[in-house]
Amino acid sequence: MTLELFIVQVLNGVQLGILLFLMAAGLTLVFGIMGFINLAHGSLYMLGAYFAAVGYTATGSFVLAMAIGFFFTFVLGGLADAAGLSILHRRDHLDQVLATFGIVLFANELVRVIWGNAPVYMDTPEYLADPISLFGLSYPSYRFAIIAVGLVVAVALYLLIERTRVGMLIRAGASNRTMVSALGVNIGWLNRFVFALGAGLAGLAGAMVGPILSIQPGMGEPILILTLVVIVIGGIGSIRGAFYGALVVGIIDTIGRIFLPIVLRNLLDPSMANAVGPAVASIMVYLLMAIVLAFKPDGLFPVRNRS
Amino acid sequence: MSRLRSVAVALSLLAFFLVPVYAWATGDVYALTLFGRILVFVLAATGLNLALGYGGMVSFGHAMYIGLGAYSVAILTLMGLHSGWLHLITAVAISGLVAIPVGWVALRTQGIAFIMITLAFAQLFFYIFISLKNFGGDDGVSLSQVSNFGPLTGNIYALYLSLLVTALIVLGVVMRLVRSPFGLVLRATKVSERRVNAVGLHSLPYRLTAYVFSAQVCALAGFFLANLTGFVSPDYLKWSISGELIVMVLLGGLGTVFGPLVGATALLLIEEFLKAMTEHWPLILGPLIVLMVIFLRRGLWSLLEGREKS
């Protein structure tokens, strides 16, 4: 029983980690190539969820709904970059943080005006409603599908960056953008594509959590902050770091919340454990981050040769 | 300071002193609460300005120190300890004790990582206070009794005036501090930490001291906030409060003594005005912040500069 519970929770942790990776990949790529930190990344996640919910109601097809979640945020990201977000690329981080903070306030309120304060719910499609059996272990098939999609995206992203011409330009842009543009590459369009791709991935993450969380204004902030923890632990700008960081954070957060209170109950007296348990469990990830940074200030997979 | 600036400072201070007179004459106590809140944030933004404006440390987590200050009052009150001086000393001491390790870890990083780490630490404390059900949890605590200061306890006029005097003292201290040798080194670390180390100084103690002091000023603000509202909740540590604090410092003018005074007052009055206009006020405030970042880089205070070059 306990082992079974443990494995299920590890899988839940992996599932959270995969979502965090989708968020972190975009954020860390955008940061790596254009030195731009975008707090509104969480808003894109939120919008992806709303777009998917609306798309699901309109089309009745779950796959289409996911595609809508990705595509609309992809386009929105590209448009936002074209509309003037790119002014911020040349500004310092303080300005970027503040301007995107303003955008977060705006986006949350806009969503509230359009869809109201009450949460919007999205159903799991029928074919993913029944649990599947993994080596005799029953696990919700929807969560399993999230893991599968996330891994496919991770592999696709790896191939895109390591094996294609665009990916080569992205890597080149990350290490020396002036040189890349001097070689005749339109770095503006490259940036726009990367930014839109990151936005689309955040939107896809949001679309996929639709059926397991309630879709509501402000839903992007908790995951945004976890994502920031992920990329700090992984090493800012590193996709590989984002992947491992996301899995570590996802698993520790999930396992900690379930098992830490149980462990504490055995160590402390019950009233004390009940008071302290949830508090300690909710800060495990942040403690992990503090420990990592105390020993490795650049994260676990630091990016070298940054100009 | 240019004449225009001196006049502006004198007028705004006069206005702050006239608020209790106005409230007393008209019985409009809400004005005292509103301007009391503004002074709380003037105090907090002045604290943040020391780290952000003079030390170049972009802390996105200073709301956590406001929260620590406020919870010092709440937790001691729940434990049956009502002495105001005890509350005050605890707020300042606890925030200092927390700021030392947090600052030390955070200052190991630079640039964007520093922003994210300070944000993450603030979230850490946000979640701690949310999960401590014994101290109100998510819902927060209504104080059964505010901090005990003898006959002045619970007198809003006394509270407002002591807040105003505290803000003035802190502004004075910051003004002296940034001109002292300590402040000179601190400002130098903002320009180039490497050069400061190269001339034989260690930048870390200077930066950490500034960080801790700025945290304590925010805790002081939290102490006053708890007493002003009679209510403490995890919302005080929300990341958006940290964001607003930075907006205040930037709106006023980064690294100017009176910038936070101008910025905090302006932002809260704008918010108050927008709230009166529409319930969807962030819809307007958000774009205003974006415009401010793009077009008003040096803050409102710099508009009062005249032709003088600083």
pLDDT tens readout for residues B108-167? 887 788 888 898 889 889 988 888 877 878 888 888 787 878 777 778 888 899 999 999
CA trace torsion A257, B129, B91, B226 (10° rounding):
170
Contact between residue B177 and residue B50 where contact means Cβ atoms under 8 Å apart:
yes
Mean pLDDT of chain B: 87
A106 and B286: CB-CB below 8 Å? Answer: yes
Q: What is the CATH number of the domain that holds B171?
A: 1.10.3470
Q: Which residues in chain B are closer than 8 Å to A231, comparing Cβ atoms?
A: 116
First to last CA, chain B: 9
Q: Give pLDDT, residue B310.
A: 42
Residue B114 lies in a domain: yes
Q: Which residues in chain B are closer than 8 Å to A110, comparing Cβ atoms?
A: 283
Q: Which residue has the higher pLDDT, B145 or A75?
A: A75
Read off the pLDDT of residues A158-193 as tens digits, 9 standing for 90 and up. Answer: 898 888 888 888 888 877 778 888 888 888 888 889
Domain that holds residue B213: 3-303
What is the spatial distance between Cα B55 and Cα B184, in angstroms, rounded to a whole number? 10
Q: Give pLDDT, residue A23.
A: 93
Contact between residue A22 and residue A159 where contact means Cβ atoms under 8 Å apart:
no
- Structure-block tokens of residue A205: 């993450």
Whether the CB of B124 is below 8 Å from some CB of chain A: the reply is yes
What is the spatial distance between Cα A82 and Cα A84, in angstroms, rounded to a whole number? 6
Helix (H) or strand (E) holding A147: helix A141-163
Whether the CB of B128 is below 8 Å from some CB of chain A: the reply is yes
DSSP string, A46-98: HHHHHHHHHHHHHH--HHHHHHHHHHHHHHHHHHHHHHTGGGGGGS-HHHHHH
A103 and B286: CB-CB below 8 Å? Answer: yes
Q: Which residues in chain B are closer than 8 Å to A109, comparing Cβ atoms?
A: 280-283, 286
Grade residue B307 by pLDDT with cuts at 50, 70 and 90.
very low
Count of domains observed in chain B: 1
Please choose, from the candidates B2, B49, B39, the residue with its C-alpha nearest in 3D space to the C-alpha of residue B254.
Answer: B49
Question: Where would I find the beta strands (DSSP E) of chain A?
Answer: 131-134, 137-140
User: Burial, B27: exposed, middle or buried (Cβ in 10 Å; 0-12, 13-18, 19+)?
Assistant: exposed
B285 and A102: CB-CB below 8 Å? Answer: yes
Distances (CA, A) of A86 to A78, A83, B153, B291: 10, 8, 53, 14
Read off the pLDDT of residues A40-54 as tens digits, 9 standing for 90 and up. Answer: 999 999 999 999 999
Residue B309 lies in a domain: no
Q: Which residues in chain A are closer than 8 Å to B116, comparing Cβ atoms?
A: 228-229, 231-232
Q: Give pLDDT, residue A278.
A: 74
What's the rounded mean pLDDT across residues A269-284?
Answer: 76
What is the spatial distance between Cα A288 and Cα B209, in angstroms, rounded to a whole number? 25
Helix (H, G, I), strand (E, B) or coil at B82: coil
Helix (H) or strand (E) holding B4: helix B3-26
What is the spatial distance between Cα B280 and Cα B290, in angstroms, rounded to a whole number? 17
DSSP string, B25-77: HH--HHHHHHHHHHHHHHHHHHHHHIIIIIT----S-THHHHHHHHHHHHHHH
Task: Name the region of A216 (left: φ>0; alpha: ψ -120 to 50; beta: rest).
Answer: beta
Please choose, from the candidates B96, B98, B93, B97, the residue with its C-alpha nearest in 3D space to the C-alpha of residue B121.
Answer: B98
Q: Which residues in chain B are closer than 8 Å to A264, comparing Cβ atoms?
A: none
Best B58, B124, B292 member to test A by mutation, with max A CBs in 10 Å, is: B124
Question: Where would I find the beta strands (DSSP E) of B145-247?
Answer: 231-232
- The β-bridge relationship of strands B141-142 and A131-134 is unpaired
Identify the closest residue of chain B to A236 by CA–CA distance. Answer: B113
| Statement: residue A306 has pLDDT above 50 | no
Q: Which residue has the higher pLDDT, B113 or B34?
A: B34
Identify the closest residue of chain B to A35 by CA–CA distance. Answer: B112
Read off the pLDDT of residues A179-237 as tens digits, 9 standing for 90 and up. Answer: 888 888 888 888 889 899 999 999 999 999 988 888 999 898 889 988 988 988 888 87
What is the spatial distance between Cα B251 and Cα B293, in angstroms, rounded to a whole number? 8
Amino acid at A41: H
CATH number of A2-295: 1.10.3470
Task: Name the region of B200 (left: φ>0; alpha: ψ -120 to 50; beta: rest).
Answer: left
Q: Which residue has the higher pLDDT, A253 or B9?
A: A253
Whether the CB of A287 is below 8 Å from some CB of chain B: the reply is yes
The angle formed by the CA atoms of residues A260, A263 and A266, to the nearest 5 degrees, is 150
φ/ψ of residue B141, rounded to 5 = -125, 135
Read off the pLDDT of residues B193-252 as tens digits, 9 standing for 90 and up. Answer: 888 888 888 888 899 999 999 999 999 999 999 999 988 999 999 888 999 999 999 888
Residue B310 lies in a domain: no
What is the spatial distance between Cα A253 and Cα B120, in angstroms, rounded to a whole number? 14
What's the rounded mean pLDDT across residues A18-37?
Answer: 88
pTM higher than 0.90: no
Q: Which 69-108 residues of chain A touch chain B by CB within 8 A?
A: 87-88, 91, 93-95, 97-99, 101-108
Name residue B141's beta-bridge partners. B232
Helix (H) or strand (E) holding A219: none
Contact between residue B54 and residue B187 where contact means Cβ atoms under 8 Å apart:
yes
φ/ψ of residue A135, rounded to 5 = 50, 45
- Structure-block tokens of residue A4: 């079974």
Q: Which residues in chain A are closer than 8 Å to B130, comparing Cβ atoms?
A: 282
Read off the pLDDT of residues B94-120 as tens digits, 9 standing for 90 and up. Answer: 999 999 999 998 888 877 888 888 988
A98 and B112: CB-CB below 8 Å? Answer: no
- Angle between helices B156-179 and B181-191 in degrees, nearest 10: 70
Contacts of residue B273, defined as CB under 8 A and 6 or more positions apart, other chains included, come to none
Contact between residue A216 and residue A120 where contact means Cβ atoms under 8 Å apart:
yes
